[in-house]
Amino acid sequence: AQKITQTQPGMFVQEKEAVTLDCTYDTSDQSYGLFWYKQPSSGEMIFLIYQGSYDEQNATEGRYSLNFQKARKSANLVISASQLGDSAMYFCAMRNSGSSASKIIFGSGTRLSIRP
Amino acid sequence: GAGVSQSPSNKVTEKGKDVELRCDPISGHTALYWYRQSLGQGLEFLIYFQGNSAPDKSGLPSDRFSAERTGGSVSTLTIQRTQQEDSAVYLCASSLAGYNSPLHFGNGTRLTVT
């Protein structure tokens, strides 16, 4: 069975500092994808970054990077040089390989607050 | 380009009434997902479609909930005999096939059962 765990309900970070949001997962599949989404107070869900289970390098997208440790089943999101606009809920999600589509489950989320 | 469209954006209904929520996915996206999000909570998986078929209905909370998708496009989530605990934001998302394809979300339908 799939499971995603985000152990940090809330975090406070000073503007311009880097922040790491934790995500661990559990799956018996060898092929899977991991996603991070941002949900600002407006409620929209914004896709940030993707990491495939066979990707040898950590994914990066601008100020976002993923610290992927496959053996430990963790996929932590790192945000560098945090900005006030980064204040939001952040969700980690996982999708196992399937025929052509499969269930995607989400963690419980981390509420990130950036202090000026 | 057009994104995922959900309607209505807000729905207030009386307890015991039936409601229909609509999702229009991005053109060409074969996979379609429904999630429920209560205030301040995470996303609860309800159901997903690959084409018109639903391989996994395990997340539907009760038999009052049903969903269908026609023509590999529009999907409708129906809640019968609504209860106050059904109040939440219902999010729809679509994606291309393949486990590396991200979900594209609609803006959700906020359902309030009075």
Residue pLDDT, tens place only, B51-110: 999 988 889 999 999 999 998 899 999 999 999 999 999 999 999 988 788 999 999 999
- For A16-60, what is each residue's pLDDT tens digit? 999 999 999 998 888 899 999 999 999 999 999 999 999 989 999
- Using a CB-CB distance cutoff of 8 angstroms, which residues of chain B are in contact with residue A113? none
- pLDDT (0 to 100) of residue B99: 79
- Using a CB-CB distance cutoff of 8 angstroms, which residues of chain A are in contact with residue B95? 101
The answer to whether the CB atoms of A44 and B105 lie below 8 A apart is yes
Instruction: Provide the shortest C-alpha distance from residue A82 to chain B (in Å).
Output: 22
Average pLDDT over chain A, rounded to an integer: 93
- pLDDT (0 to 100) of residue B108: 96
Give the separation between CA A36 and CA A48, rounded to whole angstroms. Answer: 6
- Provide the pLDDT confidence category of residue A99 given band limits of 50, 70 and 90: low
The answer to whether the CB atoms of A106 and B48 lie below 8 A apart is no
- Using a CB-CB distance cutoff of 8 angstroms, which residues of chain B are in contact with residue A1? none
